[in-house]
Amino acid sequence: MGFLQEMANRERRLWAALFVDLVVALYYFPKALALLLRDDSDIVTDLLGLVFKSTVLGIVLALILYALFAIAGAESAADEREKRFAARANGAGYWALQVFVIVLIWQLSASALVPDFYRIPDLSIPFLIPHLLLLALIVSRMIKSGLELFYYRRGY
C-alpha cells in the first residue's frame, strides 16, 4: 500500500484508466472476433449485446476505482510537470493512432487494387474495419496512459 500512498492522485487515475482499458479490451475483442468470424449473417444482436456488456463493465470498474481514489484524496489540477508528461504521452498516442490508420488505409486501397495479393486480413468481413479502428483507439489510449505512467515513475 506504500506504493499507492507515494503516488500522485493523477498517477493513480492513470493506473485505473489503463487497467479499465485493458480489462474491457481483453473482455470485448476475443468475443467480438469470434462473432465476426462466425459463419452467420445475423450477428448484429449478439454484437450489440456484447457492446452493452463491455460498456457496463467499463463504467462499473471505473466507478469503483475512481471512488476508491476519491476517498484517498481529492485530485488537484495538473501542474506544469504533469502537463508536460501528458503532452508527451498524447503525442506518442496520436502517433501510434496515425500509423495504424495509415496502415489500414493502405490495406483498404491495396486490397481494392490487387485483390488476390492483399487478402489478409480479409477486410470484407462485416464490422471488421470498425473493430480495427476501435482497437487502434484503445491501443493508442493505452500507449498514452502507459507512457505517462512511465514518465511519472521515472520522475522527469
Partner 1 sequence: MKGTAIQNNIRRLRFEANEMSQAALAERVGVTRQTLNAIEAAKYSPTLELAFKIALVFGQPLDAVFQYPAGSMS
Name the residues that contact partner 1, by CB under 8 A: 8, 11, 76, 79-82, 152, 155-156
In the bound complex, what is the minimum distance in angstroms from residue 153's beta carbon to partner 1?
Answer: 11
Give the C-alpha separation, 90 to 102, whole Å.
18
Q: In whole angstroms, how close is the CB of 74 to partner 1 at the nearest point?
A: 13
- Residue-wise DSSP of 38-75: SS-S--HHHHHHHHHHHHHHHHHHHHHHHHHHHHH-PP
Taking the CA atoms of the chain, what radius of gyration do you get in angstroms? 19
Distance CA 32, CA 46 (A): 9
Which CB sits closer to partner 1, 81 or 119?
Answer: 81
Whether 26 contacts 142, CB under 8 Å: no
Closest CB to partner 1 among 15 and 29? 15
Q: How far is the CB of 72 from partner 1 (least distance, A)?
A: 14
Nearer to partner 1, 32 or 89 (CB): 89
The C-alpha atoms of residue 61 and residue 37 are separated, in whole angstroms, by 29
CB of 11 to partner 1, least distance (A): 8
